[in-house]
Structure 1
């Protein structure tokens, strides 16, 4: 079965699922930019860590993520995609506080800084990223799936990814270089995404495209 305008059909028949998925991806885009992008600036400008060392710390955490993603992908088949993503979403917000506490107070200890970033960025974010695509694609029928997931990823990226570096810089600057406003921002996003994930599971099967009744072959 084909749909002439898949994105319009998705808006018409999956409005709540689209909204829930956009909300669920919110923390993923913010967490990547906070831990994988802004933390480099924070370590060098606010904590005084050498830029090359800071870069290697981020790259090392990304290497941990490269191992974590297939692990969490396999676990999703038995533990459930929504469960892993929802738990990872809220943990990304909670672990922001101890992570930045370590960065702010123990930036001279490179190993401790590496471990502090690897936990949320390498392991927890890896769990969210490993299950996000299958969670979203499984929420739509094949006829509108590609267009719907593309909209979710790109539209949420405007707010979750595009604006986060500027928001992070503003929040830290307004708090005299302290990261706690930024951690609060990430925690709010985590709560939104976790609740949106619960919403996704409750909407499954309640929104769908209308189908023509099958006729018997003659």
Structure 2
């Protein structure tokens, strides 16, 4: 079942017909997109609830400010646990394969989210309520720790050579759709129900819907084949005995450090515009909840539509260049966007969010998966990708709403100190991304780096296998 290179530049199995290849790629796209949409719906549904519900339902005895901080603190815990899940599932993914690992993460994630929908409130069981919420958030974070890297590799390692960037953007589309679905469901429920009904049972509906979504996603993922890249490594007995060791030690040390820093700007950006902006708009700007959720949903949909464009640009110009341009644009846009927010006008808030989240974020987020996947050889790629994405998630993603809330509080409600922090994260990411050397990017199915990426080149390694990007 070795992989071979076709004249069109596609990765195929040795005994695979054209029809079988097309069917395999359609299944891969469905499994990657549907799976990540569901996983991120579950994860960011919690983020939306943390902004709008949990400070009241689980921390009712605190002031609004303190309750929001505590709610975001439980949100951040999920990011702290994600690296543990990343190491565990990364090891499993590099040892037994991508497909089975992703099935496990989906079941864990769905179960934790559904159980949140039936949790008792603080009014019913007191302090036990936030403790149970925290425990389920830990399970969520652990499961998601192995999800993103596996979904990216499922797409990238199955993809045609000249569409590596496009396929690498597919799991990112799932994130945007998951966020849009979560905020959209919350907006609908708040319109359909009065405030008392929403706080009593309405918010629970959004969490219980996860049961149906996970069942569908699980079935689709069981139909997908293992990636040709992993299959080749397994057949050649090249699997690493200790992937985490190989990721942190030379020759991978440099790429790991630079990857961790390169992601800082992206992580802070997403959780600013997709999570923190909801609380900021409803509490500091005094905008109505439903229109704010609609604005985030619109920006998320725009991002989902533009992510494939980023993928195509990645195929044309290379992932490093596109990621660098996008992160730079984000740093430049921070202050103007907060100025638009400061008008306290819903239209300008939406315009700013669509620009910085829907357009700018799509540019570099679409290239991210392909870029970070190329930092490591196939034999440790699942672990390496998980380490970069999940460990950076602690400081780049999970702590961002807390940091911004604290900085705005310290500045007496002014957002400019918080905006300065976001610009700093962008600068760090720009520098780190610039320092990644193209000669160190792993573009072949084997364990050695290849020559710099060229959109019109198709290299073949010594086994006759195609580059895997």
Q: Compute the TM-score of the two structures, normalised by the length of structure 1.
A: 0.90
Contact 1:33–1:165 (CA under 8 A) maintained in structure 2:
yes
Cross-structure match for 1:61: 299
Detail structure 1 runs of 4+ shifted over 6 Å in the superposition: none
Assess if the C-alpha contact under 8 Å between 2:278 and 2:293 holds in 1: yes
Structure exhibiting the larger radius of gyration computed from Cα positions: 2
Q: Does 1:172 align with 2:408?
A: yes
- 1:140–1:148 contact (8 Å) kept in structure 2: yes
User: What's the CA shift string for 1:114-160, capped at 9, x where partnerless?
Assistant: 11111111111111211111001112111111110111111000111
**What is the correspondence of 1:1-218 to structure 2 with a 5 Å cutoff?**
1-13=238-250, 14-105=252-343, 107-108=344-345, 110-201=346-437, 204=440
Alignment check: 8 A CA contact 1:17 1:203 kept: no
Single out whichever of 124-133 and 197-206 deviates more from structure 2.
197-206
1:24 and 1:197 in contact (8 A); partners too: yes
Structure 2 SS opposite 1:2 = coil
Contact kept, 8 Å, 1:81 with 1:131, in 2: the verdict is yes
Number of residue pairs aligned between Structure 1 and Structure 2: 208
CA contact 1:36–1:58 (8 Å) conserved in 2: yes
Give the drift of 1:191: 0.6
Per-residue Cα deviation, 1:160-203 (whole angstroms, up to 9, x for no partner): 11111110101111111111111110100001001111111356
Deviations 1:36-57 (A, max 9, x none): 1111111111111111111111
Could you list the runs of 5+ residues in structure 2 that have no partner in the other structure? Answer: 1-237, 449-461, 463-469
Q: Higher relative contact order at CA 8 Å, sep ≥6: structure 1 or structure 2?
A: 1
Runs of 5+ consecutive residues of structure 1 not aligned to the other structure: none
The CA deviation at 1:25 is: 0.6
Q: Contact (CA 8 Å) 1:90, 1:187: kept in 2 or not?
A: no
Q: CA RMSD in A?
A: 1.8
CA contact under 8 A between 2:282 and 2:292: conserved in structure 1?
yes
Q: 1:205 to 1:95 in 2, by over 3 A?
A: closer
